[in-house]
Structure 1
């Protein structure tokens, strides 16, 4: 049995997507997570895990029997090449283009790609540049 090391001390403990076709979703997420170097673990409980992301079928004991609505999930990428590879892997494994890789208006180093997963969730890979990645904290004016 494979092991996965979970990160602790983050805001989110986990996010669950309940999907129509678990096999199609697993193929999609295994491909994009491989590019992002995040291991995916299958289970015998109608779900699979990728760090804090749980993807399950509606009849899984981990779900409440209903599909989740559409969500936007943004995954960190180590560089622009990883964003590009994420986009290609997603399209090759059942994803639909929702924004080709490129700089976004959020800030000058925000390089991202967007795809829709097999259930229509907006999945993003983003590289925010070295300055953003190495900053220990962010100050927000309110």
Structure 2
């Protein structure tokens, strides 16, 4: 369903540390694509869908936009509850902030998720759906 999306960050090295950590926990990868950005996805061999993460100002931004002003939410699919827990632990260790610990979510049967805020305040989630 998703081809790509992107977020602008203020400190690329700090963001890379965070996203490298959660990529490893989810069995995903970060892929360098230039000095001012990187991609977060399955692998270099299977690059789509991806999350673009960089310090460049996108041409489509409206005047007044800046990193962190419009919090974004991205949910990554995990293969198990253990992967959700690993995502949360890895993200916290790499500078993320807790925004909802691993656990089931009310109102969504078979849903297990965890939420982190990345270094710029974007809401990053990992979720496992036992009924899919």
TM range (shorter): 0.7 to 0.9
Task: Work out whether 1:42 is the aligned partner of 2:40.
Answer: no
Task: Work out whether 1:56 is the aligned partner of 2:54.
Answer: yes
C-alpha spacing 1:108/1:45, structure 2 compared with 1 (3 Å)? same
1:85-137 deviation digits (Å, cap 9, x = unpaired): 000000000100000100101323110000100000111100010x22xxxxx
Q: More strand by proportion, 1 or 2?
A: 2
CA contact (8 A) 1:58 1:67 kept: no
For 2:88, the equivalent position in structure 1 comes to: 87
1:54-74 deviation digits (Å, cap 9, x = unpaired): 000136xxx348436211110
For 1:72, the equivalent position in structure 2 comes to: 73
**Partner secondary structure for residue 125 of structure 1:** strand
Please give the alpha-carbon distance, in whole angstroms, between the structure 2 residues aligned to 1:50 and 1:29. Answer: 7
**Partner secondary structure for residue 40 of structure 1:** strand
- My pick for the range that moved more, 45-54 or 75-84, is 45-54
Q: TM-score, normalised by structure 2?
A: 0.83
Give the number of the structure whose alpha-carbon radius of gyration is greater. 1
Give 4+ residue runs of structure 1 displaced > 4 Å after superposition.
none
Please give the alpha-carbon distance, in whole angstroms, between the structure 1 residues aligned to 2:80 and 2:129. Answer: 8
Please give the alpha-carbon distance, in whole angstroms, between the structure 1 residues aligned to 2:121 and 2:109. Answer: 28
Q: Considering only aligned residues, what root-mean-square deviation do their CA atoms show, in Å?
A: 1.6
Task: Work out whether 1:21 is the aligned partner of 2:19.
Answer: no
Structure 1 unpaired stretches of 5+: 1-9, 133-142
